[in-house]
Amino acid sequence: MTHFDLFETRAEITVASRRGLYTRVGKRALDLSLSLLLLPILLPLIVLGWVATRLQGGPGFYAHKRVGRHGRSFSCYKIRTMRVDGDTILRNHLDRDPGAAREWAKNRKLRDDPRVTSLGRFLRRTSLDELPQIFNVLRGDMSLVGPRPITREELVYYDPVPATYLCQKPGVTGLWQVRGRQDGCFRNRVQLDLNYLRQVSLATDLGLIGRTALTVLFPSGC
């Protein structure tokens, strides 16, 4: 990226993050109204996932620290899909498998993750593990649509323009979740987050929410 491109991108992010009544007021109104409407439908599924996970041993929910808008940390809620000793399993797996170590360094994700339980694979494939994030939306930590939540360590992938991520609330779904999930490359993920910032609108958000519903009903991801 040249100095001119960098300046142009920063200016574009500043304008995009401030524009429009929808981004300032309407987006939050959509988050609250749609989340409250969906809560009676999603709550039984969340409870069922929690119970099934608890029966396998360990906690049913998992809360991991993520970076929110303006760099504020928050606990992102999910139904637990990994073994309770997942950190040790990952460390040992990366030490033994150089290919997996390279994949992790590039994407911060593994296609064949040894930490994930059999139930967890089903929950991930159907995206049911992410349903508790509706409580993050109600709390104002997240939006229904936006960049996928990242850890503070992953923020380095947004250099030299971290505002691409930091000027937005992370989303339960977004462009990466419906277009780039199978790719996994973080560089493409950052570009999709910038593309979303450029085109955010009510129509864009409703379209992405609709496509996400189809993905849940007809899952193909991992």
Question: Is pLDDT at 7 greater than 60 in this prediction?
Answer: no
Q: Is 114 exposed, middle or buried (0-12, 13-18, 19+ CB in 10 A)?
A: middle
Whether 199 is covered by a domain: the verdict is yes
Listed residue (30, 13, 34) closest to 22, CA to CA:
30
Question: Is pLDDT at 130 greater than 70 in this prediction?
Answer: yes
Whether 100 is covered by a domain: the verdict is no
Instruction: Tell me the DSSP string of 91-154.
Output: HHHHHH-HHHHHHHHHHS--SS-TTB-HHHHHHHHTTGGGTTHHHHHHHTS-EEESSPPB-TGG
- Band (159; pLDDT cuts 50, 70, 90): confident
Least confident of 10-19, 168-177, 185-194: 10-19
Give how many domains the chain has, as a whole number. 1
Question: Is pLDDT at 221 greater than 70 in this prediction?
Answer: no
pLDDT at 13: 63
Residue pointed to by tokens 């977004």: 174
Whether 43 is covered by a domain: the verdict is yes
Across the strands, what pairs with 116? 82
Whether 76 is covered by a domain: the verdict is yes
Whether 96 is covered by a domain: the verdict is no
pLDDT at 222: 45
pTM, 2 dp: 0.84
- Could you read off the pLDDT of 9-43 as tens digits, one per residue? 665 666 565 568 898 899 999 999 999 999 999 99
Which is more confidently placed, 120 or 108? 120
When pLDDT is averaged across residues 87-99 and rounded to a whole number, the result is 92
Domain boundaries, position 9: 3-81+116-217
Whether 174 is covered by a domain: the verdict is yes
Which is more confidently placed, 84 or 222? 84
Whether 39 is covered by a domain: the verdict is yes
Whether 133 is covered by a domain: the verdict is yes
Question: Is pLDDT at 5 greater than 60 in this prediction?
Answer: no
Least confident of 104-113, 115-124, 160-169: 104-113
The two tokens of residue 97 are: 């498998």
